Amino acid sequence: MKVSPSLLSADFCHLGEELDFINDSEADMLHIDIMDGVFVPNISFGFPVLKYVKERCKKPLDVHLMIVEPQKFVNEVRETGAEVMTVHYEACVHLNRVVQQIHNAGMKAGVSINPATPVCLLKDILAEVDLVLLMSVNPGFGGQKFIPGTIQKVKELRELIATTGSNALIEVDGGVNDQTGAQLAQAGADIAVAGNYVFKSTNRSQAIHSLKVL
């Protein structure tokens, strides 16, 4: 699988060194979690911090917006140099328009669904998006336990992608480690987001490698 370590679990006192570690690692992308304290019950970091991440990080940025009205920040996300901008299905009244705005800004468009949102609701947007991010925890915090029903959702999404002629990649976020990662890979996931499993590990390079080989 491709691996997108989540910066949320990094040591922010040593942000530069953490980014150097990512640059030298086997990671395919860097996952960036933006929270607003409204869509999710937590606040992470914002665009002033990402300005420095952009300067130091050599890997593509995979930006996950857990905010209401994400369409208001398309330009700000583009300024971070993001390769992918992912918005929540639950946060967008006019999701098709938001996806168009992301594409018009020159980024790949991702759509994320919470654990209680069924995969079938994505049917009419799948052909338009580059990535679907399945939340395998309730968004807002790192270090939570993987919700097992996500495996079945990956399988359903894999089938729906095939029947709708979509090219979307399947990314999974929350509680991913080598064990849950193995089940996800087998079910058809393309990208694993991993926060605590990578950054809190005593051997971070090995943690990334253990997901890469799945």
Annotation says 11 is catalytic: no
Q: What is the distance between the alpha carbons of residues 22 and 32, in angstroms, rounded to a whole number?
A: 13
Q: Which does 25 bind (CB under 5 to 8 A by kind): ligand DX5, Zn ion, none?
A: none
Q: What SS3 state is found at 28?
A: coil
Q: Residue with structure tokens 């992308």? A: 29
Q: Residue with structure tokens 């915090």? A: 141
With left for phi above 0 and alpha for psi between -120 and 50, is residue 175 left, alpha or beta? left
Indicate which residue of 33, 36, 62, 130 is catalytic.
33
Q: Does 171 bind Zn ion (CB under 5 A)?
A: no
Neighbours of 121 (CB within 10 A): 13
Nearer to ligand DX5, 59 or 164 (CB): 59
Q: What is the distance between the alpha carbons of residues 27 and 68, in angstroms, rounded to a whole number?
A: 29
What distances in angstroms separate CA 206 from CA 17, 41, 45, 107, 178, one per listed residue? Answer: 18, 32, 27, 31, 10
Segment interacting with Zn ion, rule: CB under 5 A, options 31-39, 89-97, 114-122, 201-209: 31-39
* Options 119, 193, 208, 211; binder of ligand DX5; rule CB under 6 A: 193
Tokens of 162: 């095939």
Annotation says 173 is catalytic: yes
Q: Point out the residue whose Cβ comes nearest to ligand DX5.
A: 195
Q: Does 28 bind ligand DX5 (CB under 6 A)?
A: no
* Options 107, 194, 207, 211; binder of ligand DX5; rule CB under 6 A: 194
Q: Which does 8 bind (CB under 5 to 8 A by kind): ligand DX5, Zn ion, none?
A: ligand DX5
Q: Does 4 bind ligand DX5 (CB under 6 A)?
A: no
The residue ranges that bind ligand DX5 (CB under 6 A) are 6, 8-9, 31, 33, 64, 137, 139-144, 173-176, 193-197
